[in-house]
């Protein structure tokens, strides 16, 4: 049985939810496989996605309230997250409707062409070269592993679900253990709305439990998988996906320390703003974001360090999502505390409850950091930061380049200073090789759901660095191209027939 | 030492070539890594690719003659293959120049946008949403494993080399043992032309030997790998790439049996043309193509079987590329010969020399085939085919769907017959799920190098089914997207600055 707990008290909330049995899992996947031909050809997928969004919106307050008992993320955040979730569903509906600006890109669609997300390409016959037409086709039934820290936007009805459904792939979601009741209620709404919209039975399924998740990932009928979660869990699942008799793509979005570089000019010209921004990003959602600014590289500037200490000192912690996550946070903080060369810079106000986390910021010199890079650059999931003090950008760059892959890299620069801009150019040259997104004069938390987004990054931030899990390009994960050679129009896929 | 042999005599040809030492391998990879920043920013990559093409064309006759001594593929084929190879290099140069029609696609580029292959996307700031601009960036130094059966087009200066260089990635090619001298001479020409065109030293390197190849694939500085070759070799290398401390994408294009379905109407209306086409495709290049039609599904039609027996009987074999490939062919043929339920339908004239292969075609009922699918659907690299006789398309489809992934699927249909067209629709629905390209009324051999090509397919035909190794889209394998958030124009990549 899977039991949810109230992070504010550590007490059980809601009824325990049974783990999915092997027989039930097999039946759910078989239903998804059976639904594939009909769902991939379903002519009203956009309407179905919008029906799901409408149904979730209609119960947003209730959903947020249930999720708050299981996550303690607060009503405001959770109501906003439901809106983000339904916004994602509608964004993919717009993509299917081929609405202008949703695909994005510097290319525009002429009349008589297929929607951009299908990546249709026609090379007409010429001499001995045959007529070739290529288009994206849905890959097959998909497995989605929900995240702990976004009970809606990266969970049962989240971005993976929206993009897979939009692509024409039935899917089976493995619920996160941290919010079983939220997952069940969401799934009921999603399944009901899809059925009302005429989607074939089996298009959407939900399973509970670690064993069910493993069996799902190994199931021969599953063609691809999406995952948002910890680095350890994600890498273990990626290995399972790779070791199947028929390996499948495993799109894992894992942990990340998201290095932020403050250049000397920026540190000198606006220490207070940087310190406040940093403390806010670090402690947002009790630091439980994969885009949390875990590493902050600052010049030897006493004013900035003082400002950071003040800002962090004024910050507040909160209850973490689960007892396990809280225990992990305590271990990570202890490791930093006990590390020679690392000292504490500041601490915020403790969070309440048995799993209440305290914001903690440590400091270390670049030299000490580089000497134990693997340990000190580890993710500390929660509101813990490490400030690394560098003597010069020249010294910093090779250390930065030595970091493992990240979702986000950030540079703070005084754009009015030619010297700082020159250093920024050098820092960006490195950051763009170790991160999937580079932010200038901002903070890594906050991931806009737009066409140009890339929420990805080099291993181990993601297991498939060419793909994003946020934004319209996320649909690409659920496609494979197929080329048709010398086909009579009547046998071509519908979208290719229309291409001139 | 690596020794080439003349397939016509089995005797050594040319001087033995030394295997690359660990120290030399490390130096070559280090040079490639050092060249990455300069080559990825090199403003005249198109000119450099064209210089390589010109230099190869200038020595085409000599190259073909050398390759003929090591492969016995014949002067006409090899001269044509050099032209294909230089055509590929020029095609990627055209892509870099953003020439119309080369990117292909149903989208067109408006003025003030980045070239299509960079997949640039701009989402302007709106409200609290930041300005986001995404663009493809070269992934880093690349390893390329050359194939035995295309000493030019899938070898030292082949498609992987052209696409990687075009993407801005330096590369190190591991030569195939079957044509060491051809590889060395080609590499000398490529390196010389690149140097003359001003490319940084280290942009291109060549290594010899299995151990060097393994060390190359494991090298921390290598960011991605391309491979064309056998299923066994490719899967072993894919595993090594996945088990690195930092796994890298391994784009393997492996073996394939390329099922061809002859529908009843086609079999009835043009048996002779189908039989001749089949025998020609099966024995082309002594059957040494990954697109060889290994499995032919035909209805119970005596006329077609007789025609196939005649056409195959009139066909001729030839010397295979290496002794090892010939031994593999003999084993595969013996396995089919000794299989209960399998009988011989026809044999062609034997090829000459110690490694001369004889075209062999076997037949089996659909029922017997399905009963031992794994064994009977194995690739038999060379001019050996299996004809599977099906009682009805209804019986055929589930067996077809049970096949492993393929590069190509083919359907032969009488387009004037509504019944046949209806069956074709059903066959295509299955073929497009088990193959990356579907051919109508043609044969799988012959892979056009164009924008709409997809030379890929489900596992194990390729290890990364979303990618092609032929055509302009092959460049996508060497990119990762990076998003830039709220960047001042001066810090953006050049191509994104130009996007309006």
Q: Does pLDDT of B111 surpass 70?
A: no
Q: What is the pLDDT of residue B464?
A: 96
CB contact under 8 A, A123 and B428: no
Three-state SS for B263-313 is CHHHHHHCHHHHHHHHHHHHHHHHHCCCCCCCEEEEECCHHHHHHHHHHHH
CB < 8 Å from A in window 247-276 of B: 247-249
Q: What is the pLDDT of residue B459?
A: 96
pLDDT digits (tens, 9 = 90+) for A418-474: 999 999 999 999 999 999 999 999 999 999 999 999 999 999 999 999 999 999 999
**To the nearest whole angstrom, how far is the Cα of B323 from the nearest Cα of chain A?**
30
Average pLDDT over residues A29-38: 98
Q: What is the pLDDT of residue A301?
A: 84
Average pLDDT over residues B313-318: 98
Q: What is the pLDDT of residue A454?
A: 98
Distances (CA, A) of A347 to A298, B254, B423: 18, 56, 71
3-state secondary structure of B181: helix
If you search the block for the tokens 């271990």, which residue do you land on? A331
> Is B438:A485 a contact under the CB 8 Å cutoff?
yes
Nearest to A177 by CA among A16, A353, A379, A331: A16
Catalytic residue set of A:
253, 290
Nearest to B315 by CA among B350, B343, B355: B350
CA B65 to chain centre: 23
Per-residue exposure over A251-271, b if at least 16 CB sit within 10 Å of its own CB, e if not: bbbbbbbbbbbbbbbbbbbbb
Q: Does pLDDT of B98 surpass 90?
A: no
Q: What is the pLDDT of residue A104?
A: 58
Higher pLDDT, B178 or A301: B178
Q: Which residues contact B394 (CB under 8 A, 6 or more apart)?
A: none
**To the nearest whole angstrom, how far is the Cα of A329 from the nearest Cα of chain B?**
25
Q: What is the pLDDT of residue B100?
A: 64
Distance CA A119, CA A100 (A): 16
Q: What does the mean pLDDT of chain A come to?
A: 95
Q: What is the pLDDT of residue B496?
A: 86
Q: Does pLDDT of B106 surpass 50?
A: no
3-state secondary structure of B172: strand
pLDDT digits (tens, 9 = 90+) for B336-386: 999 999 999 999 999 999 999 999 999 999 999 999 999 999 999 999 999
Structure tokens, B170:
């330096």
Q: What is the percent of chain B with per-residue pLDDT over 90, rounded to a whole number? A: 92
pLDDT digits (tens, 9 = 90+) for A50-96: 999 999 999 999 999 999 999 999 999 999 999 999 999 999 999 99
pLDDT band at B429 (very low <50, low <70, confident <90, very high): very high
CB contact under 8 A, A480 and B465: yes
Q: What is the pLDDT of residue A499?
A: 67
Q: What does the mean pLDDT of chain B come to?
A: 95
Judging contacts by C-beta atoms under 8 Å, the chain B residues touching residue A476 are 466
pLDDT digits (tens, 9 = 90+) for B39-78: 999 999 999 999 999 999 999 999 999 999 999 999 999 9
From the list B113, B439, B453, the residue facing A486 with the nearest CB is B439
Judging contacts by C-beta atoms under 8 Å, the chain B residues touching residue A109 are 106-107
3-state secondary structure of B93: helix
Reported ipTM exceeds the 0.95 cut: yes
Q: What is the pLDDT of residue B302?
A: 87
From the list B432, B468, B486, the residue facing A439 with the nearest CB is B486
Burial level of A494, CB count in 10 A (0-12/13-18/19+)?
exposed
Nearest to A384 by CA among A323, A460, A331: A331
Structure tokens, B450:
């164009």
Strands across the sheet containing B384-390 = A121-123, A132-138, A479-485, B435-440, B406-412, B260-262, B295-299, B384-390, B360-365, B343-347
Q: What is the pLDDT of residue A500?
A: 57
Q: What is the pLDDT of residue B495?
A: 83
In this complex, is the C-beta atom of B110 within 8 Å of any C-beta atom belonging to chain A?
Answer: yes
Judging contacts by C-beta atoms under 8 Å, the chain B residues touching residue A168 are none
pLDDT digits (tens, 9 = 90+) for B137-189: 999 999 999 999 999 999 999 999 999 999 999 999 999 999 999 999 999 99
Q: Kindly report the backbone phi and psi dihedral angles of residue A334, in degrees, each rounded to the nearest multiple of 5, phi listed first.
A: -65, -40
**To the nearest whole angstrom, how far is the Cα of B130 from the nearest Cα of chain A?**
7
Strand B295-299 vs strand B260-262: parallel, antiparallel, or unpaired?
parallel
Average pLDDT over residues B396-417: 98
In this complex, is the C-beta atom of A466 within 8 Å of any C-beta atom belonging to chain B?
Answer: yes
pLDDT band at A106 (very low <50, low <70, confident <90, very high): very low
Distance CA A386, CA A391 (A): 16
> Is B485:A443 a contact under the CB 8 Å cutoff?
no
């Amino acid at each position: 049985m899977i039991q949810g707990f109230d992070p504010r008290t550590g007490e059980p909330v809601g009824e325990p939810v049974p783990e999915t049995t092997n027989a039930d899992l097999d039946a759910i996947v078989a239903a998804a496989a059976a639904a594939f031909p009909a769902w991939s050809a379903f002519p009203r997928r956009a309407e179905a996605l919008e029906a799901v969004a409408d149904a979730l919106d209609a119960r947003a307050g209730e959903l947020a309230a249930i999720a708050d008992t299981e996550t303690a993320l607060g009503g405001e955040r959770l109501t906003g997250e439901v809106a983000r979730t339904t916004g994602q569903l509608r964004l993919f509906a717009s993509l299917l409707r081929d609405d202008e600006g949703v695909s994005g890109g510097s290319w525009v669609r002429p009349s008589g062409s297929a929607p951009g997300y299908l990546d249709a390409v026609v090379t007409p016959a010429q001499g001995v070269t045959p007529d070739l037409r290529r288009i994206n086709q849905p890959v097959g039934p998909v497995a989605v592993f929900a995240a702990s820290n976004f009970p809606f936007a990266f969970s049962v009805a989240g971005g993976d679900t929206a993009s897979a459904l939009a692509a024409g792939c039935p899917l089976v979601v493995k619920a996160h253990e941290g919010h079983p009741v939220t997952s069940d209620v969401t799934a009921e709404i999603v399944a009901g709305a899809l059925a009302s919209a005429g989607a074939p039975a089996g298009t959407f399924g939900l399973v509970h439990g670690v064993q069910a998740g493993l069996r799902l990932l190994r199931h021969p009928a599953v063609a691809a998988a999406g995952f948002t979660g910890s680095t350890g869990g994600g890498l273990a699942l990626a290995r399972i996906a790779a070791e199947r008799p028929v390996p499948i793509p495993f799109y894992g979005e894992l942990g990340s320390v998201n290095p932020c570089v403050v250049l000397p000019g920026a540190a000198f010209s606006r220490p207070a703003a940087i310190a406040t921004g940093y403390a806010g990003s670090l402690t947002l959602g009790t630091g439980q974001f994969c885009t949390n600014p875990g590493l902050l590289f600052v010049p030897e500037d006493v004013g900035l360090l003082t400002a950071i200490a003040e800002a962090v000192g004024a910050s507040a912690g909160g209850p973490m999502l689960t007892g396990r996550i809280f225990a992990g946070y305590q271990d990570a903080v202890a490791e930093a505390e006990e590390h020679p060369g690392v000292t504490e810079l500041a601490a915020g106000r403790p969070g309440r409850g048995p799993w209440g986390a305290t914001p903690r910021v440590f400091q270390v010199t670049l030299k000490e950091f580089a000497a134990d890079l693997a340990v000190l650059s580890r993710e500390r999931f929660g509101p813990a930061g490490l400030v690394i003090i560098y003597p010069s950008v020249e010294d910093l760059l090779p250390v930065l380049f030595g970091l493992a892959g990240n979702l986000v890299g950030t540079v703070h620069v005084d754009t009015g200073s030619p010297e700082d801009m020159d250093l920024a150019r050098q820092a960006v040259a490195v950051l763009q090789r170790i991160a999937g997104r580079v932010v200038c004069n901002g903070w890594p938390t906050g991931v806009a759901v737009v066409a140009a987004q890339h929420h990805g990054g080099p291993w181990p931030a993601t297991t498939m660095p060419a793909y994003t899990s946020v934004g319209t390009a996320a649909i690409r994960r659920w496609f494979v191209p197929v080329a048709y050679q010398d086909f009579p129009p009547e046998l071509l896929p519908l979208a290719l027939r229309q291409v001139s």
